[in-house]
Amino acid sequence: MMHRILPRAFSSNTARLSRTATASKSTLSQTVQDNDPPLPKMPPFDYAPSPYTGPSAEEILAKRCEFLNPAIFHFFKNPLCLVEGKMQYLFDEKGRRYLDAFGGIATVGCGHSHPEVVDAIVNQTKRLQHSTILYLNPAIADFAEALASKFPGDLKVVFFTNSGTEANELALMMARLYTGCHDVISIRNGYHGNAAGTMGATAQGSYKFNVVQTGVHHALNPDQYRGVFGSDGLKYAKDVDEIVTYGTSGRVAAFISEAIQGVGGIMELAPGYLPAVYNTIRNVGGLCIADEVQSGFARTGSHFWGFEAHGVVPDMVTMAKGIGNGIPLGAVITTPEIAKVLTYRSYFNTFGGNPVCTAAGHAVLRVIEKEELQQNALTVGSYLKQRLNSLKDKYEIIGDVRGRGMMLGIELVTDRLLKTPAKDETLYVMEQMKDMGVLIGKGGFFGNVFRITPPLCFTKEDADFLVDVMDYSLSKM
């Protein structure tokens, strides 16, 4: 039987759960109604947030509406005001605790305010906050060396940026300079940023403005759930051959893709696709760019980088988000030969390689290794995925569970056969889960995919709480 939502039930249930959640604080152990089962109980956490004395959520929202970018949006009817975080938990202005299963959009890997990362930031800030790369400083050099050690082959020259968009912009420019070609191929449903070049490479209409975007061809998405060829990566790869043949001069600058599409709904590329496409691109003189902005830094658990699961070695890798655990930092890593193209003119980035940011990035690498977060992402992520699949067996509205490690997606549909997107239902469940103390994200082209990308310190108890809350929310539909 399909699970559908009536608007009136949506409003009453959300309000009812909101009142209960407010009263029950972080444990959420009270019942919604006398005849309902008890709400799932949040795992204990030995930490108390500092008292908050700042402006109210209403005051902050008013200022945001008046002074900030009007394009900024929020997920919930009443936006959360988050004022403190500790490891996998966040706290609002009233001291209520939330389990963070979104990680600031796959950004917080080590955990909120991880003490070793904080210490690295504070200690470097006390010594030297900024100097530019015109001068020598150990922080940038040490981090570049440590980061390069995480890559195979000749990938060992690092360019630091301030964001993932900026990293992808730089990689695309370098590819065009190196090859002397302008044409770039990316995948439909992919997201690579929202600046001039990356907007062209992004293939989701909702992120594309009516500005000049030239030289980018969008290939069939090797989508194992909705794609025309299922999980046959080689059949999707043929579309790249045809784009080269019919849409270019026969040579291209680059192919860019994520190993797991993040904004696109945690979509893992079909097996066999990347090796075949990389071969095609290199045969026509192009470079292969791996966008690891979301899937990098041990998030997938099975590997440190998402591309490694496909058995390929890119010519360039872009990264951000998890690189700094929330610090604005990004990077491009490539080979010495490709890196030389930027020496033919002046290339400069004032904040790229800032000592505070690179000190934070270096601390992140140390924490991932010291606390074995990659193994934890694999172990707990696999357990969480198994539990989410059990919900799929229970609720017809769940059409697909996918991803790996701490990068998981759950797609909701009103009809499993037709795969009709359940967009309203997705928002409803998110709202209910928030009221019960669990924060998840959403994505996918139709906005009907839950994105679960928590800090890598997530525990099995956290996973159980998340699934129990989702189960409870779905049962109320």
Return phi, psi of residue 117, to 5°. Answer: -70, -45
Q: How confident is the model at residue 171 (pLDDT cuts 50, 70, 90)?
A: very high
Question: How large is the average pLDDT for residues 403-421?
Answer: 98
Closest CA to 270 of 295, 246, 235: 235
25 pLDDT above the threshold of 70? no
Q: Between the CA of residue 311 and those of 239, 333, 413, what are the distances in Å?
A: 21, 18, 32
Give the CA-trace dihedral at 185, 442, 196, 226, to 10 degrees: 20
Strand (E) positions, 240-300? 254-258, 260-261, 267-268, 287-291
Mean pLDDT of 380-394: 98
Backbone angles phi, psi at 435, to 5 degrees: -65, -25
Among 394, 468, 464, 440, which Cα is nearest to 3's? 394
pLDDT score at 29: 40
- C-alpha 442/C-alpha 34 separation (Å) is 32
Alpha helices in 100-210 (DSSP H): 103-106, 115-127, 138-148, 164-179, 196-201
pLDDT-derived band at 196, boundaries 50, 70, 90: confident
Model confidence at 150: pLDDT above 80:
yes
The per-residue pLDDT for 32 is 54
pLDDT value at 20 more than 60: no
In this structure, what is the dihedral angle of CA atoms 124, 349, 363, 125, given to the nearest 10 degrees?
A: 10
What integer pLDDT is reported at residue 477 of this predicted model? 85
Cβ atoms of 469 and 475 within 8 Å: the answer is no
Question: Mean of the per-residue pLDDT values for the chain?
Answer: 92
Query: What are 432-443's pLDDT values in tens digits?
Result: 999 999 999 999
In which band, very low, low, confident or very high, does the pLDDT at 74 lie, cut at 50, 70 and 90? confident
Is the pLDDT reported for residue 222 higher than 90?
yes
**pLDDT value of residue 33:** 62
| pTM, entire model | 0.91
If pLDDT is split at 50, 70 and 90, which confidence band does 86 have? very high
pLDDT exceeds 80 at position 228: yes
* Residue 117: predicted pLDDT: 98
pLDDT above 50 (res 9): no
Task: Reply yes or no on whether the pLDDT at 16 is more than 70.
Answer: no
pLDDT in tens, 326-335: 999 999 999 9
Element (H, E) at 187: strand 184-187
- Confidence tier at 35 by pLDDT (50, 70, 90): low
